[in-house]
Chain A
Amino acid sequence: MKYIIASLAFWFIPFIGYAVAKQSTNTNPITGAQTWETHIDGVHFSLTQILPDQLRAFYVNRGFTLEQIEPYVSSCVYMTVLRNDSAPGDIHYISNNWSIFVNNKRHKLKSVDEWVNYYKKTAAKKSAIIAFRWAQFPPEHEYKVGGDWNQGMLSIGLAYGTTFNAIAKWDIAGKEFKATLTGVQCAKK
C-alpha cells in the first residue's frame, strides 16, 4: 500500500507544486497588511487586506461618520486587482459569480448594490455614498488584452480573522476561466 501511495505522490507532487507556485503571499512591512496574488492564463488577480483603521480613515475623509461606516469596516474588505495582461481574449466578469469558501462551505458576497442601498437608508451624505460606490471594485466589467484593469474595494462579508478560499471567474467569449487564492485571511480586529 505504501508503495502505491509513494508512486501516486511521485506523479502528483510536481503538479501540486505547480499549482501552489502560482499563488504568492506577501506582507506590507509598514502596515502589516497581507496580499494574496496569482497570475494565471494571462490574468493577474490579487486581494490585499485593508486594515480596519485604514478603512475608517478613508471613509471618514469621504464624509461618513465612524458609526455609519462600521458595518462595512467589519465586513472583511480587500483592495482587489484584476488585470488582463495577456489573456487569449477580452475577459468579462461578474463579481457576484465569484466563489468564497469557508471550511468548504460556500459564502455569498454582499453586492455593491446591497451596500449602496443600505447606505441610502442611513443619514450618510450623498457625496459620501457616491465616493463609496465608485471606490468599490466594479461588480461587472470587460477588460481588453494589454493591460485593462481595475483596483477597488471588495467586501467579503466575513468576520475579522476568518480564513477563506476565493475563486475569481471570468469568461472569454463564453468560455470560463478562474483564478484561485487559498488560505486568505480577513484582517484582525
Chain B
Amino acid sequence: MLKNKFIQHCALLLTLLTGVSNIAHAQGLPPLTHNLTAVNPALPAPELRFKDLDDDVVDIKDLKGKVVVVNFWATWCPPCRREMGSLERLYQATKEQKVEVLAVNIGEDIDTVFSFLGTIEPSPNFKILFDTDGDSMQKWGVKGLPTTYIVKPDGTIAYRAVGGREFDHPDIQKTIINLLK
C-alpha cells in the first residue's frame, strides 16, 4: 500500500515537472500562422490599465501616437508560450519606430510569470501587465488565449489575431509599420 502511494507520488512529481510541456508538445499542434484580421469598422480600444513587473501602472491611454500590440496570455497556455519569443523579436525590430508591446497576463502572480520569462528565448523585454482577475477579457471581447489586438496610433483597433501567431514574420512587421504612416 505504502509502496503504491510512493509510486503514485513519484509519478505525480514527474508529471508535475513534465506535464505542462507534454501538453504543449502534444502531437498534431497546428503551425503558427502570420495572418492578422482587419477590424472593420475600427473600434476604440477598451480601457487597459494595469501594473507591470516593476509595479508601475501602464495605461494604454498614455500610448496614443504609437502602435500598440496588446497580447492576452498566460504561462500555462501552450500557444501563448509558443508565440512569446516572436513577440520579443517583433518588439526588438520595431521599438525604435513608435511600436509598443503590452502582454497582459491573466490571473497569475509576479513570481510565476518572472520564473517563466527566464525560460523564453529571447527573454521578453516588452511590458508585461498583470490582470489578476481577468476583468479585461470581457472588455476586450477575448474568448480564448492567446488573443492579440493591434491598436493604431489614434487609439482604435486595426487588427485582431485569435490563437498563436509568428509575430516576427515580415508580413506582420510590415502591417504594423504601415499603421504609422
Q: Are B30 and A35 in contact (CB under 8 A)?
A: no
- CB of A147, distance to nearest CB on chain B (Å): 3
- A72 at interface by CB-CB < 8 Å: no
- B29 at interface by CB-CB < 8 Å: yes
In B50-80, the 8 Å CB interface with A consists of 74, 76-79
Q: Are A130 and B30 in contact (CB under 8 A)?
A: no
Task: Give the distance in Å from the alpha carbon of A144 to the alpha carbon of B11 in the complex.
Answer: 41
Q: Are A35 and B23 in contact (CB under 8 A)?
A: no
Per-residue CB contact flags for chain B residues 138-181 toward chain A (1 = under 8 Å, else 0) read 00000111000000000000001111110000000000000000
- A159 at interface by CB-CB < 8 Å: no
In the bound complex, residues from chain B placing their C-beta under 8 Å from that of A46 are 28
- CB of B37, distance to nearest CB on chain A (Å): 4
Q: Are A150 and B162 in contact (CB under 8 A)?
A: yes
A133's nearest neighbour on chain B, judged by CB, is B134
Whether A148 touches B37, Cβ cut-off 8 Å, given contacts A134-B74, A134-B134, is yes
Q: Are B144 and A138 in contact (CB under 8 A)?
A: yes
Task: Give the distance in Å from the alpha carbon of A27 to the alpha carbon of B18 in the complex.
Answer: 18
- Chain B residues bordering chain A, tally (CB within 8 A): 40
Q: List 16 A-B contacts (CB under 8 A).
A: A35-B26, A35-B27, A50-B23, A53-B11, A53-B12, A54-B23, A56-B15, A56-B19, A58-B23, A62-B76, A81-B29, A127-B109, A134-B144, A140-B143, A143-B162, A151-B78
Q: Are A151 and B79 in contact (CB under 8 A)?
A: yes
A150's nearest neighbour on chain B, judged by CB, is B144
Chain B residues engaging chain A, CB cutoff 8 angstroms: 11-12, 15-16, 18-20, 22-23, 26-30, 33-35, 37, 74, 76-79, 106-109, 132-134, 137, 143-145, 160-165
B8's nearest neighbour on chain A, judged by CB, is A53
- A28 at interface by CB-CB < 8 Å: yes
- CB of B81, distance to nearest CB on chain A (Å): 11
Whether A81 touches B161, Cβ cut-off 8 Å, given contacts A54-B15, A58-B20, A131-B107, is no
Q: Which of A35, A57, A150 contacts B20 (CB 8 A)?
A: A57
Q: Which of B29, B106, B162, B163 contacts A134 (CB 8 A)?
A: B106
In the bound complex, residues from chain A placing their C-beta under 8 Å from that of B26 are 28, 31, 33, 35, 48, 50, 79
